Amino acid sequence: MAALSPSVAPDILTVRRLVVKIGSALLVDRETGLRTAWLTALAEDVAGIKARGADVILVSSGSIALGRGVLGLPDGALALEQSQAAAAVGQIRLARAYEEALAPHGITTGQVLVTLEDTTDRRRYLNSRATLETLLGLGVVPIVNENDTVATDEIRFGDNDRLAAQIAVTVGADQLVLLSDVDGFYSANPKLDPAARRFDLVAAITPAIEAMAGDPISGLSRGGMKTKIMAAKTAVAGGCALAIMEGSGLRPLTALADGAARTWFLAQGDPQAARKRWINAMKEKGRVWVDAGAVAALGRGKSLLPAGVVAVEGGFGRGDPVGIVGPDGTLLGRGLVRYTALEARAIAGHRSGEIEVILGYAGRAALIHRDDMVI
């Protein structure tokens, strides 16, 4: 179907940072277990994208599906404790499967387990972001999954579509691909309405678009088109384009590059600009005063180090937004601080190498990282 606007679809061949969400049904067959051939083919796609200089993160379901088979648990809904046990067994096998698929391409993988609290709590959000950024900087492909072994119903994403969108925004990805059992977003459920039409592009998620998504079909999965629209809203607001495509065939990312059926939801601006708008809109929990040297360094796009801080105001915690004030009292900007107010006062004016001696433990080199501030 024609796009809702004449905008040009994103090109996965030019992606800078890509997040791919992989559902359980694509990765695990109920009868035969892990779909090894499919995963091997996906690894070839990932290797090709990384060879062009892009970062890749895989958000993968499958731990519960793998674990329940090993434990011999019945089909159908599981009690929370059974799901957690299955996840504990399956996570090891899931991580090993990705390692074995990507290692022949010289790619190192790392397992990252998160809960909803890791993205809603600013301190934990900063820690998660720092870990992912470090892994990507080292050339690792992080394999992210919701930590089903500890997450309860109250602290669950409930589906990996929304988890993938939150991860994409967290790391400033420019594209997110949801590999699904449908080949895009339709005007109605194509399984129920033969007149349903697929959109190639969606330039804006309007109330009419949301209404087309309907509600998830109970029993088929924890996800559904409604949750995909929720994921798309999160992603595009964070400057990340999102694609929905059918992913069961071999080399799905190559198929996407070759023009396979899909729906792209277009990003609203770039990821960094969206992140800075988010930070700038936060209410300050305190302020830090900096010297002239720090002002000059910030002007060159550097992080704020403890050595450049001369005074600290407020009772903020880690991850809280604070104002950055120059020697003349001018508000220079604001950012998310990596230390508590008490810690910041203790290390103010000191070099980063002295932090461990002063606090008794090693901390971050920067008080506020350049990616977490708006100047």
pLDDT at site 119:
67
Q: Is 131 exposed, middle or buried, given 0-12, 13-18 or 19+ CB atoms closer than 10 A?
A: middle
Residues 6+ apart with CB under 8 A from 62: 22, 24, 27, 28, 90, 94, 145
Give the whole-angstrom CA distance, residue 261 versus residue 187: 15
pLDDT at site 1:
45
For 162, phi and psi rounded to 5 degrees?
A: -70, -35
Does residue 338 have a pLDDT over 70? yes
Mean of the pLDDT values across residues 112-124? Answer: 76
Q: Are 110 and 96 in contact (CB under 8 A)?
A: no
Does residue 201 have a pLDDT over 80? yes
pLDDT at site 315:
94
Task: Give the pLDDT band of residue 154 (cuts 50, 70, 90).
Answer: very low
Helix runs in 19-102, H state only: 24-27, 36-51, 63-71, 80-102
pLDDT at site 274:
77
pLDDT digits (tens, 9 = 90+) for 213-236: 875 433 333 347 888 999 999 999
pLDDT at site 159:
73
Give the whole-angstrom CA distance, residue 107 versus residue 208: 43
For 152, other C-beta atoms within 10 Å of its C-beta total 10
pLDDT at site 7:
64
pLDDT at site 6:
46
Task: Give the pLDDT band of residue 120 (cuts 50, 70, 90).
Answer: low
Does residue 5 have a pLDDT over 80? no
Task: Give the pLDDT band of residue 3 (cuts 50, 70, 90).
Answer: very low
Instruction: Identify the three-state secondary structure at position 126.
Output: helix
Q: Are 309 and 275 in contact (CB under 8 A)?
A: no
The per-residue pLDDT of the chain, averaged, comes to 89
Task: Give the pLDDT band of residue 31 (cuts 50, 70, 90).
Answer: confident
pLDDT at site 278:
79
Mean of the pLDDT values across residues 328-347? Answer: 96
pLDDT digits (tens, 9 = 90+) for 87-100: 899 999 999 999 99
Q: Are 15 and 54 in contact (CB under 8 A)?
A: yes
Q: For 339, which DSSP code?
A: S
Global pTM? 0.80
Tell me which of 28-32, 114-118, 314-318, 323-327 is least confident: 114-118
Give the whole-angstrom CA distance, residue 104 versus residue 47: 10
Mean of the pLDDT values across residues 242-262? Answer: 97
- What domains can you pick out in the chain, each with its CATH number? 12-275 (3.40.1160.10), 282-374 (2.30.130.10)
pLDDT at site 151:
63
Task: Give the pLDDT band of residue 316 (cuts 50, 70, 90).
Answer: very high
Mean of the pLDDT values across residues 251-272? Answer: 93
pLDDT at site 223:
43
Tell me which of 4-13, 74-83, 249-258 is least confident: 4-13
Task: Give the pLDDT band of residue 158 (cuts 50, 70, 90).
Answer: low
Mean of the pLDDT values across residues 326-350? Answer: 96
Task: Give the pLDDT band of residue 362 (cuts 50, 70, 90).
Answer: confident
pLDDT at site 270:
80
pLDDT at site 35:
95
DSSP output for 122-165: HHHHHHHHHHHHHHHHTT-EEEEEE-TTT--GGG--SSHHHHHH
Task: Give the pLDDT band of residue 153 (cuts 50, 70, 90).
Answer: low
Q: Are 321 and 358 in contact (CB under 8 A)?
A: no
Mean of the pLDDT values across residues 335-341? Answer: 95
Task: Give the pLDDT band of residue 107 (cuts 50, 70, 90).
Answer: very high
